[in-house]
Amino acid sequence: MMEQFVTRLRGDGAARSINRTQSPIRAHGVPWATIMLGSLAPWLPVIAPAPILPPFGFLMLLAWRLGRPNLLPLWAGLPLGLFDDLYSGQPLGSAILLFSLALIAIDLIEIRFPWRSFWLDWATAILLLAIYLAAGALFARTPLGQLQWQLVGSQLLLSIVLFPIFARIVAMLDRVRLKRVRRID
């Protein structure tokens, strides 16, 4: 029984991480890569007749920025937004503008409320998602009737519910990001 316990310890991540260090590419690349992966959601094997999916790229950006404040530079909205615009179907520039403004807004909120909690993060995300979706519908030049607001509203509800899940996913990815994989020689 003791031997089983020992082998389990040896197989454990902590035991294997001796003599290893973090990979800088992974530590810096994972947030960018996962946000861009979120922006690639239009290529999911779902052909949607209506806007039903939440903006995965923006959700990922919010989750990383709120969960790990110092990781993304303030100008990250420009490249990430450009990438999002290429695939989202929105007019080019809409995500660049909205991502950049969201990052600045989060920064200002952080200065105003230095003591943060998950509830504040969620509230911030709800506010920014509402503005993002409404502005996105406005920029798409869709005739804004009651119907469109219903569509955007249901999208917003789904995004709000999904944010905590994305926050957990990002927390998980953060552990992957900081895993000790590089061997020290």
Partner 1 sequence: MALPSGRRPGSNKKAQLGLFAGYLFAGLGALLGAALLVISLLRPETFAGLRSMAADIASPAGEAGASGRVASQNVFEAIAGYYRAGSRNAELQQEMRIARIKAAEAEALKRENMRLKAVLNLADGETRPVATARLIGSTAASTRRFAWISVGRLDGVRPGMPVSSPLGLIGRVLETGQRSSRVLLLTDPESMVPVRRATDDVVAFAEGRADGMLRLRLINLGINPIKKGDVFVTSGSGGLFRPGTAVALAIEITRDGAIAQLLSNPAATDVVLVEPIWQPQAVAAAAAPSIAQAESQDADEAASAIAATVSPAPSGSSTPEPPSAAEPDAQ
Q: Tell whether residue 42 is a contact of partner 1 (CB under 8 A).
A: yes
The helix (run of H) or strand (run of E) holding residue 20 is: strand 20-22
The helix (run of H) or strand (run of E) holding residue 180 is: strand 180-183
When the beta carbons of 86 and 169 are compared against partner 1, the nearer one is 86
Residues 154, 116: Cα–Cα separation, whole Å: 28
Q: Tell whether residue 155 is a contact of partner 1 (CB under 8 A).
A: yes
Return the SS3 of 22.
Answer: strand
Contact call for residues 176 and 30 (beta carbons, < 8 A): yes
Of residues 16, 116, 168, 182, which one binds partner 1 by CB under 8 A? Answer: 116
Q: Tell whether residue 29 is a contact of partner 1 (CB under 8 A).
A: no
When the beta carbons of 29 and 89 are compared against partner 1, the nearer one is 89
Contact call for residues 31 and 177 (beta carbons, < 8 A): yes
Q: Least Å distance between CB 79 and partner 1?
A: 9
Residues 5, 1: Cα–Cα separation, whole Å: 6
Per CB under 8 A, contacts with partner 1 among 65-104 are: 69-70, 73-75, 77-78, 81, 86-101, 103-104
Q: Which residues bind partner 1 (CB under 8 A)?
A: 40-56, 69-70, 73-75, 77-78, 81, 86-101, 103-104, 107, 110-111, 114-117, 136-137, 139-143, 147-148, 150-152, 155
